[in-house]
Every structure is written in C-alpha cells, then in structure tokens.
Chain A
Amino acid sequence: KAGVTQTPRYLIKTRGQQVTLSCSPISGHRSVSWYQQTPGQGLQFLFEYFSETQRNKGNFPGRFSGRQFSNSRSEMNVSTLELGDSALYLCASSPGSGAQETQYFGPGTRLLVL
C-alpha cells in the first residue's frame, strides 16, 4: 500500500497570505489528523476528520481550518499567516474506529512564513 502523501513538501509564504496544504491518506483509511510541529511547542494536535466531518479539534485559532473530501483526502488552510505559523505540518491517517489504532504519518509540509 502507498503511504500517506503530503503536498507540497516545502512552502515559503509572506505574512498575511493564506496557504492550503494537502494530505492523501492510506487507501481505506477514513480518519485524517493534522499536527503542527515546532521547536518551541513540539507536536500539537490541530484537528481530526472522519468521513468528511471534523470530529475533534485542538486549541488553535480560527485561522486554521480544514476539510475532508469523499475520497478521504484532506486539506488544511491557514489564513492571514503569521511568522509564528512557520512549522512542519504533519498529517496522519488511520482506519478511524478507535484510540488503539496506529496512526501513519506523512513526511510533512515545511512552511516558512517571512
């Protein structure tokens, strides 16, 4: 099976712009979660989608949003970018039925905000 893929791998934006990141889960996986990784804050949970519905979300401002399509592919959007949004954004997929499941991570999108 192909792994989780994320596009683009690298992105440079300026403050005030918006950005959309994409994640394609492993075939058959219906849950997609997004995480932000920074040196200062570590790995922080953004949100989780299952069957096109957001089931859970972390403590991020409304500038961070996401969606999931019927084929389970997911996108996250960050509007009005700030310097502090520079980070590695990771998505992870799993079948979606319980906490005992292993999440499979993509390689991440590295976002730099100038």
Chain B
Amino acid sequence: GNSVTQMEGPVTLSEEAFLTINCTYTATGYPSLFWYVQYPGEGLQLLLKATKADDKGSNKGFEATYRKETTSFHLEKGSVQVSDSAVYFCALSLFTGGFKTIFGAGTRLFVKA
C-alpha cells in the first residue's frame, strides 16, 4: 500500500543549528511529494513540494530533493530560527481517478534561542 514514514520527534535544536527531518515513502505509481508545516492552533500550510524524481523543492531556506532510488524526501535547513518551531508533515499525493494524500505522523520541532 501507500505510506509515509518520517522520523519521530520531538526534535530540539538551538538557533542556527542544521536541521534534517527524514522522510521515506512507499507508493504505487508516481506520487508528488510535499512538506507541510503546522503552527500552533493553525491549519496546514505548504512548505515545499516536488512533483517528479530529482526535483528539488525549496522555500524559506528549507529544501528537499525527490529521490526515487531511495524513496526519500528528507527536509533540510542550514540554520533554524525560533520561528521555525512547528510540526512538519511529509506527504505524498496520488491521482488515480481522484485525489488522495497520505501524511506521515509529523515531527515536532522546538528551536531554542
């Protein structure tokens, strides 16, 4: 079946530290891959996406590369800020007659000043 596995949190980092959140997926067909972010009390917002193998998505200093050979889409940021504290969700979307998005469990990130 289709699934997304991402590293469990919480992840606690100091400001300006390097961030990696691992994400791997299993899918039939050719999914699009997404990272969404959820700030406290809010809905999900798109952070970045990649729609085919070797695509790199980037936004606000975050980036992730669609790796078909390792079925991965790891999220990275070179220098985190306190304002990056949130829950990050890796997701895949498939279109087989209709939309279906499968989310990972989410990784909570705390950034300390």
Query: What residues make up the interface of A, taking CB atoms closer than 8 Å to B?
Result: 4, 31, 33, 35, 42-45, 48, 50, 54-56, 58, 90, 92, 94, 96, 98-108
Contact = CB atoms under 8 A, between A and B. Distances in A.
Chain B facing A: main interface SS: strand
Contacts of B104: 42
Chain A facing B: main interface SS: strand
B40 to A, nearest CB: 12
Contacts of A58: 100
B99 A48 contact: yes
B43 A90 contact: yes
A45 B100 contact: yes
Contacts of B99: 31, 33, 48, 50, 55-56, 94, 96, 99, 101, 103
B17 to A, nearest CB: 26
Interface residues of B, number: 26
B70 to A, nearest CB: 20
B101 A103 contact: yes
Interface in B21-53: 31-32, 34, 36, 42-46, 49, 51
- Tell which of A98, A99, A103, A107 has the most Cβ of chain B within 10 Å: A99
B93 to A, nearest CB: 4
30 contacts: A4-B43, A31-B99, A33-B99, A33-B101, A42-B103, A42-B106, A44-B103, A45-B101, A48-B98, A48-B100, A50-B99, A55-B99, A56-B97, A56-B98, A56-B100, A58-B100, A90-B43, A90-B44, A99-B31, A99-B99, A100-B51, A100-B93, A101-B32, A102-B49, A103-B46, A103-B101, A104-B46, A105-B43, A105-B44, A107-B43
